[in-house]
């Protein structure tokens, strides 16, 4: 198989988790090999028939400069995804190096190889809510979701009245669409539960509707209907048909999604909650 090689692309990136790494951008070196079929370009001599390595490079630079990464593994995975998903590569080999990351060594590198099927992932929809410092906790939760998985879309934020226990502050609610390689059980345990713990979610056994710093619920998984885990948890989340603060944010990011077992689009379901009193709220989310 033919390939295009991009060697030693030198950039500066917000990467790392040690205190000295958080303070300033770090030097990184990226080398990338992308599988492609160059026979047509070799036959026609037309630029339009060649794999456009310049556009791939520009997309990688944009990704590196716009985001912060804790691990080179995550950065390498994002670069491979760009090459295969966004630009149709047949396969990709990515090396990311951090010069000076280890004393007495020139650099530390990771090299990964990926195929297009590695990025045929599950699509997960997560509903978020907070009524303890929600202006801080919702952006923090989204930032952690970006770190632990791949965020595809985020909804607007809405203010809603609390359910069950009305003697507490109003909630801010939203939804996020994501990709994940994990199973639903692992996604809940390794992503959602982990974020709730990091953001100080405390559960009151005597009041399931008590105030919370953050609440992350898996609402939809692909276009499937099933139960999983010890509780068990059921998907789609029954709350989609009961509460505007769950249905409306999901409809904002996937309006034509047909709810399994119901058949109606999320747009139609959300329209049924007209007059529910949801109020849009403006919050800034980091890219």
Distances (CA, A) of 247 to 45, 111, 129, 188: 53, 42, 13, 20
- Cis bond before residue 232 (omega within 30° of 0): yes
Catalytic residue among 98, 177, 188, 231: 98
Any long-range contacts for 261-269 (C-beta under 8 Å, 24+ apart)? 261/225, 261/236, 262/236, 266/240, 269/240, 269/241
Q: What angle do CA 165, 176, 150 make, to 5 degrees?
A: 140
User: Pairing relation of β-strands 171-180 and 150-154?
Assistant: antiparallel
Q: Is 15 helix (H, G, I), strand (E, B) or coil?
A: strand
- 98: annotated active-site residue: yes
Estimate the crossing angle of helix 53-66 against helix 72-81, to 10 degrees: 140
Catalytic machinery residues:
98
């Amino acid at each position: 198989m033919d390939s295009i090689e991009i060697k030693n692309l030198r950039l500066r990136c917000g990467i790392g988790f040690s205190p000295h790494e958080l303070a300033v951008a770090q030097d990184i070196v990226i080398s990338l090999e992308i599988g492609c079929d160059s026979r047509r370009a070799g036959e026609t001599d037309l630029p339009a028939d060649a794999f456009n390595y310049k556009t791939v490079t520009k997309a990688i630079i944009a990704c590196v400069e716009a985001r912060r990464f804790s691990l080179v593994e995550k950065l390498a995975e994002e670069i491979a995804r760009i090459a295969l998903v966004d630009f149709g590569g047949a396969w990709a080999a990515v090396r990311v190096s951090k010069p000076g990351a280890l004393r007495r060594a020139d650099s530390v590198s990771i090299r990964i190889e990926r195929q297009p099927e590695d990025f045929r992932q599950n699509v997960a929809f997560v509903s978020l809510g907070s009524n303890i410092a929600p202006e801080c906790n919702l952006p923090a939760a989204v930032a952690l979701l970006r770190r632990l998985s791949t965020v595809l879309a985020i909804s607007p934020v809405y203010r809603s009245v609390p359910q069950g226990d009305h003697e507490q502050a109003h909630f801010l609610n939203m939804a996020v669409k994501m990709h994940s390689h994990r199973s639903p059980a692992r996604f809940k345990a390794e992503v959602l539960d982990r974020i709730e713990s990091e953001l100080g979610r405390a559960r009151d056994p005597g009041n399931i509707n008590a105030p919370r710093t953050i609440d992350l619920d898996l609402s939809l998984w692909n276009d499937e209907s099933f139960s999983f885990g010890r509780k068990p948890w059921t998907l789609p989340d029954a709350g989609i048909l009961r509460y505007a603060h769950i249905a409306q944010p999901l409809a904002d990011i996937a309006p034509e999604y047909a709810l399994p077992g119901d058949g109606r689009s999320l747009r139609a379901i959300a329209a049924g909650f007209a007059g529910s009193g949801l109020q849009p709220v403006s919050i800034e989310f980091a890219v």
